[in-house]
């Protein structure tokens, strides 16, 4: 395994995604969420309504998003996987349309190889794998062949540590899981500069563990890759504030500001306009 300790926050370099280059460490980048599942936990699912999706993406562009993440299957706790054809029918027509109408790079949120393959052919520029290659290791080979960035998320839903006393330190669990995923991706030919990591808030972790991940986010810097923080409207906020998803804006902004202070390089959000303001202010303080 490579010595990830040799990479520091100031040495992350850059990642090309479509026509855009992310210069890590310069500022915080914003990923706007387009949910095409009608049963999204956050209440913003669009189904396969192309017109509504295009309108929302145009709004995100105006509000200074840097990349759009398109997903067709809900990942809320307890949700059931949808058939391959259904996911393809949701995401491919919209990706084809977005590729022609938006200047922003597009990410496909999927862990299914065929969805990722067709999405890249339709115009997507990045793969966002919520299983960190556990479900489909060949996603790394596809990312290498297509020369696109790959987001690797740490997901504990398969070995949830919440009831396992052998996992008292969630940060150690997440780092080990992401190291495994990084090594897999590198072995498959993905360049280090094309790998982004996500600690996976939620996804088999307890409320206390989720809060601890944000509190100790900077420890993930040992992996030497840009950190994506996806806290937007999640239950970690709802449990603290006792509010439904559509009322978790302020809580989300708090996690983003603290996340940036702790080393987040990109944030995945539903509310781009407010996030852009928080990122600008936080970057002015943290990055100078």
Indicate which residues carry an active-site annotation: 234, 268
Provide the token pair at 151. Answer: 């987001």
User: CA–CA separation, 39 vs 245, rounded Å?
Assistant: 13
Helical ranges in the chain per DSSP H: 50-62, 84-101, 113-122, 138-146, 170-187, 207-215, 235-241, 249-261, 272-286
3-state secondary structure of 252: helix
What is the phi/psi pair of residue 168, to 5°?
-75, -20
User: CA–CA separation, 160 vs 285, rounded Å?
Assistant: 36
Q: Which residues on adjacent β-strands are paired with residue 33?
A: 69
Q: Which residues on adjacent β-strands are paired with residue 34?
A: 70
What is the phi/psi pair of residue 83, to 5°?
-60, 150
Nearest Cα to Cα of residue 39 among 93, 82, 91: 82
Q: Chain-centre distance of CA 184, in angstroms?
A: 18
Q: Which residues on adjacent β-strands are paired with residue 152?
A: 129, 197
User: CA–CA separation, 177 vs 199, rounded Å?
Assistant: 9
Provide the token pair at 245. Answer: 């998803």
């Amino acid at each position: 395994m490579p010595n990830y300790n040799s990479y520091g926050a100031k040495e992350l370099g850059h990642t090309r995604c479509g026509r855009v280059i992310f210069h890590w460490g310069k500022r915080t980048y914003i990923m706007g969420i387009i949910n095409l599942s009608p049963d999204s936990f956050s209440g913003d699912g669009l189904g396969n309504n192309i017109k509504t999706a295009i309108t929302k993406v145009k709004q995100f562009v105006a509000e200074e998003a840097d990349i759009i993440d398109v997903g067709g299957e809900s990942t809320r706790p307890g949700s059931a996987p949808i058939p391959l054809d259904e996911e393809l029918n949701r995401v491919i027509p919209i990706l084809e349309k977005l590729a022609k109408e938006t200047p922003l790079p597009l990410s496909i949120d999927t862990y299914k190889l065929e969805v990722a393959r067709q999405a890249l052919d339709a115009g997507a520029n990045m793969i966002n794998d919520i299983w960190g290659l556990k479900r489909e290791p060949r996603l790394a080979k596809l990312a290498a062949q297509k020369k696109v960035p790959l987001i690797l998320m740490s997901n504990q839903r398969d070995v949830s540590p919440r009831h396992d006393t052998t996992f008292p330190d969630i940060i150690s669990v997440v780092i080990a899981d992401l190291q495994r995923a990084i090594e897999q991706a590198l072995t498959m030919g993905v360049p280090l500069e094309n790998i982004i990591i996500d600690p996976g808030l939620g996804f088999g972790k307890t409320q206390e563990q989720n809060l601890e991940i944000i509190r100790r986010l900077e420890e993930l810097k040992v992996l030497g890759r840009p950190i994506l923080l996806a806290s937007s409207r999640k239950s970690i906020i709802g449990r603290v504030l006792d509010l439904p998803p559509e009322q978790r804006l302020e809580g989300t902004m708090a996690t983003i500001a603290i996340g940036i202070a702790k080393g987040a390089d990109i944030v995945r959000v539903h509310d781009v306009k407010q996030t852009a303001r928080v990122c600008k202010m936080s970057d002015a303080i943290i990055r100078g």
